Structure formats: C-alpha cells, structure tokens
Structure 1
C-alpha cells in the first residue's frame, strides 16, 4: 500500500513538473507591413525548446510591446502608432485566447514600451515620439481607467539628428516596485521616479537624485536588473555600450562601461535589448544594426562587472527583442526584419548559445513575453 502511494505521489509530482515546463509565449508585432495580424500566442516547452501555435488576437494595430499581468489573467499592449494608444485584454492561459477590454490614448506618439505592476494597479508606457511617459490606473476588471498621469520630459543632447528632443524608450519598475526607471534616448538620461500605488492621480514623483546622465550621444534604451537587485545593466542604443550601475533604493551609481561591439566593427549600430540570465551569471545584449548578433557577458558576482565571453549571430535581421525562459535553458530572438523567431539552447555553464533549428514564422516580431 505504501509503495502504491509513493508511486502515485511521484507520478503527480512529475506531471506537475511537466505542466510547468509548458508556458505561454506571447509575440507582439508590427501589423503595418501586411505580414502580421496582431498578437500571437504559442505554447513554449522549456524542456524541448519547441513552440506550438495556440491562438492570436487580430484587429489590433502595431502591438509592438506587451506585458502580462503577474496573475496571468491580463495582457497590455503598446500600440505604436503616430497617435499612440494602450490596449487591455483579458487572457485565458489555457486556450491562449485574448479578449479585448478597452483602449486608451497613450497621450503621445509611438509608444514603444509597457509595464504593469505586480498588483495590477497601474500600467506604465513610454512614448518615444512625444518624449513622455504615462501611468494609467487599472480597473478591477483589468481595463484601463479614464484618468492618467502624464510626465513630459524636456531637453536634448549632442546628436541633433536623433537627439533634438526627448525620446522616452522604456519604463521599468524596480524589483521592489518602489521606483520606476525611465530611459530617455533623446536626453541621455535615466530618470528615477518614486512609485506610490495608493495615489491614483499622481503615482509617480521624481526621486532624489532625479536622474543620472549617460555619455553624450549614447542614447539610453533598455535596462535590466540583476536577480540580486544590487546591479542594473543599461543598454545604449546609439553607441552600443552597456553601462553597469550599482543600485540602492532608486539610486544608480556607475561601475563600468563596456562596449558590445567588436573593436573593428564599422557598420551601423543599433543596440536593441538587454537581459540578465535567471541565474544572474550572464548578461545578453542584442544589436539590430549591421551586426545582427547577441553579445554575451559573464558577470562578476561580487562587483557586477562584465567580461565579454562571446557573440552569437541571431541568424536573422533586426533582433529588436529577445527573452530567456524562466529556467534559463533557452534564449528566443525576435528577428523583426526576417519575420521569424529563432530559438537557441543556452549552455548554463558557459552562457554560450547553440541554434536548436527551431523557428517560429511570424510577420515583424518585435516583442517576446513568456508567461511565468
């Protein structure tokens, strides 16, 4: 009898593990090229690296960046148009079905990033074209409320062809969600705002210090926190540099600046995305310029400093966004200009990537989000 119970228990645990290995992968796209219909949902198996089509949401214009609520019940999309908007959807994790709830103006043009807090009280979005950010309260049913806080950035920087005005590129919550870090390509600043989810009218206020400067002409784009919450890795779009910061209660202090480009690289630079591996041992950064590759950096656990350990072609063009599965076994790259997602196997020890041969064919993929 005891043996039978033990076998049943082991079978139950195994079944649970197998279920956890299969997660929803959501793909945001540009729809204005005629090859995409909206948001795509795939089932991703983090044991095999295979993806299977599950569902899609059509009729949604340029959902270029997505975020999934922590409870997995809602999805929010930045609609990257001249007259920008933010869309809210309910999400059925079992079927992958997305049901449109409502849409609100982003109060700017070309919104290109979106983030939702863990308690699903606010959605934050970055308006690249307008150079501002917006914070929308979220209703209990997951829809966006009517009122919003809009914060307009001002200023410019040295490259007048691209930095004559502010261009907010990302709005990223700190791990404890007490601060929002905002990268501005146009002003070469990373701003920090204190976040109070109890203040529905003005949840964001400037922290002290309110910002840090990156090098003139560098163009801050995206950043990611180390799992230990003590380090931040910020990617500069225009120079291809990665800046390593120490982090403490909203305060950023520079530790290191390291290039992601090879010393003899002569092509166009277009640094796009950056992520720390779940184990905190490696940092990955994509270049969607002429390099079309991912730089791989080893992390010094004590200091947070980086050492370049390799580069991997993304086997496509325009790697605008990429993601790692929660177990850190695979890295998936959205090659916008070659209309596919490439799936790489990740070596846990070396951090290096190997092509699995698995592909997801989808028009102009620009955002990948795996449901945790």
Structure 2
C-alpha cells in the first residue's frame, strides 16, 4: 500500500513538473540593431514564476507585437514597425524540443507602422492593423506556417477632433469576436470601433457589418479591446482619455453600459492607457497605464459586466506597453519599454491583486509579451 502511495506521489510530481515546463513566454521589442535578439523565448515555471531563456532571433527589425498560432507551432510578428515607408508581418516556426525559433517568411503589412496582429482560430487567416496609415490587412496562412500575399486591405482616412493626434485614422488593434465571425478594429484616430463580418470560407473573408462602427467619446482614442469569457461583454481601453468603455455584446453589435477611468484620481491629464486583459475566471480585468503612472489598474467584474476599481500595481519599470496573463491565471507578466525590463507578478485569484515574484529579466526596448502553453 505504501509503495502504491509513493508511486502515485511520484507520478503527480513528474506530471506537475512537465506541466510547469511547457508554458512559454514570447517577447518582442523595438530593436533596430540586427545583431541583437529582437525576439526572445523563455520557459515559464508555473509553480514559482521563474523564467528560463530558450532561444532568440536576430536580424529582425522592430518586431513590436507578436501573436502565437492556436497550435503553438508558429509565431507571427509585426515587423519593420515605426520604419518610414515600410511595414511587414513575419512568420517564425517554434520548436520547443529543439529550442529553436526559425524565420519563415514575411509579407508587406499593407500600411506603415503595423502595431497588432491576430490569427483566426482555424490557423488559416492572419489580420494585421496598421497605425500610421490607418488600415487593416488580411493574409491567408499556408499549412507550413508561412504568410501568403494580402487577400484584402482596407484604408481609412477619417479622423476626429484632436488637432494633433486625430488628423486621420489610426487603427490600433484587430480583435476577433468570441465566435471568430466578426472582426473589431479600435481606431484611435477616428474615435470609432470599426466592425466587419468574417467568413473564414471565403477568399476575401471581410465584409462590412450591418453596424459598421461604434462611436466612442470624442478624444477617447480607442486602442485595445477584449471580450469577457462569457462572450456577453466587451471592454475597450481608451488611450487618450485614460478610460475603459464597457459594452454589452451580441451578434457583432456593441451597446455601451459603463465608462470608468483607468487612472487614479490624482492624475488629471497626460493619459497613456495601453493594454487590457481579463482573468480566465472572468472575475477581474487588468489595464496598463503608462507615462505618469506606470501601473496596472485592477478591476472587479460583477455579474452585469460592470467594473469596480480594486487597486493598482506598479509595473516596477517605465512604459508598460503590453502585458499578458498565463492560461491558468496565476501569473501576469508586464513589459516596460523604456526601462527594458520584464516583470513577473503572481495574481491572487480571490482579490485580483498582484504581487511581485522577484522574477525579472532585462531586454532592451521590450514592447510585447505573449504566453502560451504548448502540449509536448
């Protein structure tokens, strides 16, 4: 009997060890130095939050934003970001067994300054948002992970009221709806959340939705968007206003039900809200503030989808552009561009609050993080 208990305990120990070793952290950066590793990959120990370097890629200019394919085999990046008369999307193959990340190919992004890239759940379509020229592009993905030439590209020219930042459209992200049948495009320059229907079976999958856009408040500057796990609510972080707008969601339509500040009451101007994510259990929302605050705002979510601020956590660095939660919801990892540090926080599932784990790595101009558990 004792032998059986020992065998069971050993089996659980090995299982937990394997589980803690197959979660990976992918980091992108603003990097013009081709001799430096502008994309780096780490292994996340989901027991203690430790990060262990696996591999990196050189000869890539400004891979400012990354996403991981649904099967975890491929990494897609916005490349040549903030490069005049340029802009591309690139693909890489990730092999965790060999600890390699291999460049596959790249295509033009269809606009200057690509800032966001998303992959359809079927792994056959990639969509990227271009900030400076205000456009969105759709690319087929081939079975070997490479990106095909552009299938569709939509350009926008309308702006809003801010005389410096909203002279024209600036699409800042491209987010699929929970069922992947719609695509939402927060447009900082036009104070709109644009919407398209997405038909994965068509050669040109995007068609304008019945409600082509949802207007935000003037000078809001909608940036990133996320859906609640229950698929009933959507949340848009507004960079210029330092706020979050909460929407009821159904069949491609958004109905605003709340607007709440991401910043503390002490901050009166100069907002630079950035990224937004919800814990896997759907109980808490997290939003990053750059500039004067450099923190993560933490909100409890009630049954009606409404937000209540429960605290703030310093990101222990300067300019937290992108952060991510692991799939268990145990850890939050923040990237600080200006200070070039990556901080691992542990999340309290009951209070939603964060505490530093003591785990930190350095990466110059680090701008993006994605976390993915990949089955061995």
* CA 33–267 in structure 1, closer or farther in 2 if over 3 Å, else same: farther
Q: Once the 2 structures are TM-superposed, how far is the Cα of residue 269 of structure 1 from its aligned partner? A: 1.0
* CA 273–241 in structure 1, closer or farther in 2 if over 3 Å, else same: same
How many residues get paired?
369
Output the CA distance in 1 between the equivalents of 2:9 and 2:194. Answer: 50
- Unaligned 5+ residue runs, structure 1? none
Asked if the contact 2:138/2:150 (under 8 Å) is kept, the reply is: no
Output the CA distance in 2 between the equivalents of 1:17 and 1:206. Answer: 47
Asked if the contact 1:72/1:93 (under 8 Å) is kept, the reply is: no
Output the CA distance in 2 between the equivalents of 1:245 and 1:253. Answer: 5
Output the CA distance in 1 between the equivalents of 2:230 and 2:91. Answer: 31
* Match of residue 193 from structure 1: 196
Output the CA distance in 1 between the equivalents of 2:233 and 2:78. Answer: 27
The C-alpha deviation readout for 1:140-177, integer Å capped at 9, x for no partner, is: 11101124210112311010200000000000111211
* Match of residue 122 from structure 1: 125
Q: Once the 2 structures are TM-superposed, how far is the Cα of residue 12 of structure 1 from its aligned partner? A: 3.5
Map of 1:49-60 to 2, 5 A cutoff?
49-60=49-60
* Match of residue 179 from structure 1: 182
1:205 correspondence with 2:204 = no
* CA 94–257 in structure 1, closer or farther in 2 if over 3 Å, else same: same
The C-alpha deviation readout for 1:233-280, integer Å capped at 9, x for no partner, is: 110000111001111121111010001112231352110101001111
Output the CA distance in 1 between the equivalents of 2:176 and 2:206. Answer: 11
Q: Once the 2 structures are TM-superposed, how far is the Cα of residue 34 of structure 1 from its aligned partner? A: 8.4
Output the CA distance in 1 between the equivalents of 2:309 and 2:34. Answer: 38
Output the CA distance in 2 between the equivalents of 1:38 and 1:271. Answer: 24
* Match of residue 239 from structure 1: 241
Output the CA distance in 2 between the equivalents of 1:285 and 1:33. Answer: 30
Output the CA distance in 1 between the equivalents of 2:254 and 2:35. Answer: 41
Output the CA distance in 2 between the equivalents of 1:92 and 1:185. Answer: 36
Q: Once the 2 structures are TM-superposed, how far is the Cα of residue 37 of structure 1 from its aligned partner? A: 2.6
1:262 correspondence with 2:261 = no
* Match of residue 45 from structure 1: 45
* Match of residue 220 from structure 1: 222
Asked if the contact 2:323/2:368 (under 8 Å) is kept, the reply is: yes
Map of 1:1-372 to 2, 5 A cutoff?
8=7, 11-22=10-21, 23-32=23-32, 36-79=36-79, 80=81, 81-82=83-84, 83-200=86-203, 202-300=204-302, 302-372=303-373
Q: Once the 2 structures are TM-superposed, how far is the Cα of residue 5 of structure 1 from its aligned partner? A: 6.3
Q: Once the 2 structures are TM-superposed, how far is the Cα of residue 10 of structure 1 from its aligned partner? A: 5.4
* CA 62–231 in structure 1, closer or farther in 2 if over 3 Å, else same: same
Asked if the contact 1:29/1:36 (under 8 Å) is kept, the reply is: no
TM-score, structure 1 as length reference: 0.95
Q: Once the 2 structures are TM-superposed, how far is the Cα of residue 49 of structure 1 from its aligned partner? A: 0.8
329-338 vs 262-271, greater mean Cα deviation: 262-271
Root mean square deviation, CA, Å? 1.7
Question: Helix, strand or coil: the match of 2:19?
Answer: helix
